[in-house]
Amino acid sequence: MDNLSKFRARTVPRLALACTLGASIALATPLRAEEDKASEPSSEQAAERGKAAEDPTKIATKAGVSYSDELSASGSVAVGPKFKFNGRIAKSGQWSAGASYLFPVAILTLTAGRSELDTGVKQTRLSVGGFVPLSQLGLKTGRWQFFAPFGYSHTKSEQAVTDLDMQDGIPVSISSDSVYVGLFTIRPLSTRLTLLAGANYTRGSHDYSGIAAAGGLSYHLTGRDTVSVRGSYVHNSFGQKQRIGIAYQHEF
């Protein structure tokens, strides 16, 4: 084999290998760019992540436990940047479940649930409502964040009415349709501590009325873990409920 043939035998395979590697890199670079772009959060997702953990309009996947006379577990599962499922169940069997959708000016939530008042009255509730961030209406409040809760609720209550000739109570069902409005606020006191408080008023059929108020403090252990202490008071035409509790929540 002459020198020219030997040179060609050595050079051609190397050129072919170099071309193959170059083509592979050229093809891989756009693919990696597309993958990196796909992994970047959208502007809507970035906005949701920037909301405070206490913000009632935040769409996020969360899980938590709380204790207020009894142990309960709650959580939410986000499906995209605008929709989430919510749920809560207590040791006694009281529960609530629903879903929320985030609109440009408010979050709307559909909820069904069952609870029991201190007087022994059991209530089954179906409601649709939500929160309007007042900042969306042009209200400037500095470090305070205000939200207006609103909604409609259908409540069916069961209570025992005792007859003079009977020792056992007769279960009686009473239904009521009502609307509610209120105000809720959160304010960071430091990088980790946040104040929260709120109240709403309910008015319904059959002279049904009620008020609810709650307040507390939350402490951010990390960017995703929060503990809080809250107190609440509910009083309506069927009875009342007072609670002080502690809760832990993790955001995924």
Class in CATH terms, 43-251: mainly beta
Q: Which residues contact 23 (CB under 8 A, 6 or more apart)?
A: none
Percent of the chain with pLDDT over 90: 49
Residue-averaged pLDDT of the chain: 80
Whether pLDDT at 73 is above 90:
yes
**Where is pLDDT greater, at 2 or 28?**
2
52 within 8 A of 188, measured Cβ to Cβ:
yes
pLDDT digits (tens, 9 = 90+) for 90-137: 998 889 999 999 999 999 999 999 987 766 778 888 999 999 999 888
Res. 242: pLDDT tops 70 = yes
The band of 156, judged by pLDDT with boundaries at 50, 70 and 90, is confident
The two structure tokens encoding residue 142: 């500095």
Is residue 87 very low, low, confident or very high in pLDDT (cuts 50, 70, 90)?
very high
Domain ranges in the chain? 1-40, 43-251
